[in-house]
Amino acid sequence: MSDPHDRSLGRPDLLDDSGLTPLSQEALLDLEQTFFQWHRRVLKGELTGRLLAESGHPIEPGQFHALTAVARIAAGVGRDGPTAPTVGLLADEMAIDPSRASRVAADLIAQGLIRREAAQDDGRKTVLCLTDTGRAVLADMRDRKWAHFVRMFSRWSEDEIACFARLFKRYARDIMGDDMG
């Protein structure tokens, strides 16, 4: 097996001139490898797929992602405030093109998870609304996710959980130069 820290696989020469100790350099290289594996699993929807399979909900991870996007838009998560979800906002939230977002929305409508309605402020505009079934799926999956987190973190000490949460938040803020609060 090859060394993941080999320069030919992406170890930057910059580390040698960074002023970081060798231990810090190795720790950062290990973090980068672990982060890559974690990110790949997130992108593939492995945890969501497993929780969906356990739940018996006949929805794919990508469709679930769209369902949660509709809920986030409506609740104003990551926005200035609650907003009526449209296909355009769904496309933006999911970083997909509007025609793909329209097809995903149609799939969710066919499954009875969302419905189209006329916007209250403009009857020509269509908005996406969660159905009772869609809200129930979201609530069930939220509970399953938290049950998984509780099982996973039950083996961690209070200090480890607090430290991880603080450092991960700091990492997420600093990686993009954002102020996440």
Exposed/middle/buried for residue 69 (C-beta within 10 Å: 0-12, 13-18, 19+): buried
DSSP state, residue 113? S
| pLDDT, one tens digit for every residue, the chain (181 residues) | 455 555 445 556 777 778 888 898 888 888 888 888 888 888 788 889 899 999 999 999 999 999 999 999 999 998 999 999 999 999 999 999 999 999 999 999 999 999 999 988 887 889 999 999 999 999 999 999 999 999 999 999 999 999 999 999 998 889 877 655 5
Q: What kind and span of H or E run contains 62?
A: helix 61-75
CA–CA gap between residue 102 and residue 93 (Å, rounded): 13
What pLDDT score was predicted for residue 3?
55
Q: Is the pTM of this model over 0.85?
A: no
How are beta strands 126-130 and 114-118 bridged, if at all?
Answer: antiparallel
Q: What is the pLDDT of residue 7?
A: 46
What's the rounded Cα separation, in Å, for the pair 168 and 159?
14
